[in-house]
Chain A
Amino acid sequence: MNYRSLLFIPGNNPGMLQSSDILGADGIIIDLEDAVALTEKDAARILVREYLTTFEPRKGVFIRINPLDSPYFYDDLDVIKDLKITGIVLPKAGVEPMTKLEEYLDEHDLDLEVIPLVETAMGLETALEIVQVSDRIIGLFLGAEDLTLDLGAKRTKESKEIEYARSRIIAAAKAFGIQAFDTPFTDTDDIEGLRIDTKNAKDLGMTGKTAISPRHVDEINKAFSPTEEEIDYALRVVEGVKAANEKGLGAFSLDGKMIDAPIIKRALNLLKTSGDYKEEYDELLK
């Protein structure tokens, strides 16, 4: 499944938990890490467990556990191993934490997806290696707040300081055909700022974005959904390919532009996201 939006839900907040399935996000990340005070780690784990065992599990439930270098890493995993969830978000991702997580998941034979949260300089520079640790990884998630702290960079709304990090994450993710999730936009009231930030991330190649406010979900979903024009264009490309194939033509042009394999592939990908993909299209790239 392709997640346009992943919404953080504070793990120790019953009101948010019980509403987490109706806030419009493609997936949720129940947070046991930063959103939970050190003194409430135990209570949050228990609350999350009760919630997830009481209610029909929805699709796309991830839990952000505490990092390997905290005292809670294995406590969190011990609770999670019995829960019906989609996967785990691993904070302060690096080769070692990912390896330890993979070992635990193998040991307990858990069929869970993993999203490494890259938020350190080392994590960023070893992103390619992290992804290679496990087949469970479905995407890389850039955490810009901690990363900029680690880099000694000034965090700004314009986010020029994370352009490199974004591109690096995107490249590592695309190299392995997995998703690239952008850092959340932290000003919950600034919807226009969110719009610009999301567009910047998408234009660089991010495939989805995380959110810390439910009010950001719609905007993110919209940004990562193809527009009517894009869908129309993709359908025209596909029709063009079909016609060209029938005529035995190798290449063709649309609106005066040569249509080559990358354009066709992009059109097909877009139709997959928009839900307009048909099985017969499988033949087109052969």
Chain B
Amino acid sequence: MAKGKLEIKKMATAGSVESNDILIMISQGEGDIEIELESVVEKQFGEDIKNVIRETLIEEGITDAKVIAKDKGALDFTIKARVRACVQRGVEA
């Protein structure tokens, strides 16, 4: 269920580059969602990971953001959690 539309007000990060984690950096976008991903499993799961990031952003009410993600093999639950935490931090003024 999508929340009301929210806006990224400041640059924020969440997560880490430890194994099984992902570091998400979020900042204001240029009209849509732009994702830059670097992953240890880019070839196998790169598209999946980007989709999870995008869907989670939309669930959180974000449609305009630039995301830079450094993935160390995080599972989906971790990716979602880091995106949510990052959004929470980024929408606070």
Contacts and interface: CB of A to CB of B under 8 A. Distances in A.
Q: Do chains A and B touch in the complex (CB under 8 A)?
A: yes
B81 A49 contact: yes
A14 B84 contact: no
Nearest to A19: B20
Interface in A14-58: 14-15, 18, 42-43, 46-47, 49-51, 53-55
Interface range for B = 10 to 19
B78 A47 contact: yes
Nearest to B83: A46
B18 A47 contact: no
A13 interface: yes
Given A14-B21, A15-B18, A42 B81 contact: no
At the interface, is chain B mostly helix, strand, loop or mixed?
A: helix
B78 A43 contact: no
Contact of B75 (A14, A43, A49): A14
Interface in A51-95: 51, 53-55
Nearest to B89: A42
Contacts of B51: none
Contacts of B85: 42-43, 46-47
B19 interface: yes
Interface of A: 13-15, 18, 42-43, 46-47, 49-51, 53-55
Closest 3 CB pairs of A and B: A15-B20, A43-B85, A50-B81
